[in-house]
Amino acid sequence: MGGYYYYSKSGNRLGIKFSNTGVSLTDNLMGNFSLSSKCIKKEKYDIIHINALGDSFTKSLLSSKPSKIFTFHGSLDIVSPTINCELQKIFFKVDVSVAVSNYSAKTIQQVYEIKPVVIHHGVDLSIFNPGIVTRNVARRKLGLHPNKKIILWNARMSPEKRIETLILALPNIVKNYNDALLVIKSRAINRDYWLKIESYIKKLNLKKYIKLDLSWTPFPKMSFYYKAADVFVNTSTTEAFGSLAMLEAMACGFPVIGNDASSIPEAIGNSGLLYDGTSKDLAEKVLEIVSNDRLSNELSNKAYKRVQENFSLNTTARKYLYLYQRL
């Protein structure tokens, strides 16, 4: 709202800094964005970059004169008639549309018959990288056992994220590794869905193999979770681009397993393993990584290299800068 924040490193400490830009915070708070269009006219902006849909602010931006870019951060795997109508209005009123994956771009082209520019989401490699913290330090800071086989799942607790696939895979995993621990890091809880997941955990007697963390975590501290685990699992059925959490894990030099669905294969490439959507295959893939140090190290190196070469925040920024200059 009216600004952005970034992290700066001083010695071994990360500090947060703020910079004001765009429409001011006061203008945003007064009258539910009622002053936004006046501010835009007054300031005479060259480009309006829209990143949301369905609110009055976006509607006022669409009627403004400057060149307009719209980045669609969602996926068309699941789309309601209302969202479909909103997207159609936006796509045909902006000068350039951006998709965050080739997969998303393809679905947009099929549905709306427009060809978006593809600019993948980027990861800040100054925060997420293999050397940010050691595994032992990360586990100690998070209160995790130094010798357990830790599986990390990090996403919204929502039906499309399909965490039940991993819960149902867990009995097969602990049968081979009794010291396995599933760390569930979540937020934005869908309560009805979580009650369903809790019933699975209780029915399968898995509580002692699961650590649930629903606390708010400062952005830089998330690297501790990635470095503490042995494998990261993405069970989602729909992603705009692989999920930022998975890309952050990859940037930390961390083996990942993803559902062979939506844009997840595009994000992973050959730097991780894909499972076929079933809990049986997921269990086999987890066991394949935790039981094979050579494979784990190979995937870790490939994961970091893939993000470094293709999906860094600097790469994303350069592509947007070029797009702004072009307009």
pLDDT at 227: 95
Give me the mean pLDDT over the 304-327 stretch. 96
Q: What is the pLDDT of residues 88-141, one digit of tens each?
A: 999 999 999 999 999 999 999 999 999 999 999 999 998 899 998 999 999 999
Burial class (CB in 10 A: 0-12, 13-18, 19+), 74: middle
Q: What is the pLDDT of residues 186-235, one digit of tens each?
A: 977 899 999 999 999 999 999 999 999 988 887 778 999 999 999 999 99
Q: What is the pLDDT of residues 269-304, one digit of tens each?
A: 999 999 999 999 999 999 999 999 999 999 999 999
CATH number for domain 135-310, candidates 3.90.650.10, 3.40.50.2000, 3.40.50.300, 3.20.20.70: 3.40.50.2000
Give the other-Cβ count within 10 Å of 194's Cβ: 16
Helix (H, G, I), strand (E, B) or coil at 134: coil
Radius of gyration of the chain (CA): 21
Which CA distances in Å does 322 have to 48, 52, 117, 188?
15, 21, 12, 35
Which CA distances in Å does 135 have to 223, 225, 307?
10, 9, 20
pLDDT at 2: 42
65-69, 77-81, 125-129, 267-271: lowest mean pLDDT where? Answer: 77-81
3-123+313-326 classified as CATH 3.40.50: yes
Say whether pLDDT at 39 is over 80.
no
Confidence bin at 8 (pLDDT 50/70/90): low
Say whether pLDDT at 24 is over 80.
no
Topology alike, domains 3-123+313-326 and 135-310: yes
Say whether pLDDT at 29 is over 50.
no
Higher-scoring residue by pLDDT: 1, 15: 15
141's tokens: 């800071």
Higher-scoring residue by pLDDT: 260, 35: 260
Single pTM value for the model: 0.88
**Distance, CA of 252 to CA of 148 (rounded, Å):** 19
Q: What is the pLDDT of residues 168-191, one digit of tens each?
A: 999 999 999 999 999 999 977 899
Classify the C-alpha dihedral 38-43-44-46 as positive or negative.
Answer: negative
**Distance, CA of 103 to CA of 7 (rounded, Å):** 31
Higher-scoring residue by pLDDT: 136, 4: 136
Given the DSSP bridges, would you call strands 180-187 and 149-156 parallel, antiparallel or unpaired? Answer: parallel
pLDDT at 14: 64
**For the chain, which residues make up each domain, given as ranges?**
3-123+313-326, 135-310
Confidence bin at 31 (pLDDT 50/70/90): very low
Measured between its terminal Cα atoms, the distance across the chain in Å is 24
**Closest to 185 measured CA to CA, from 229, 148, 147:** 229
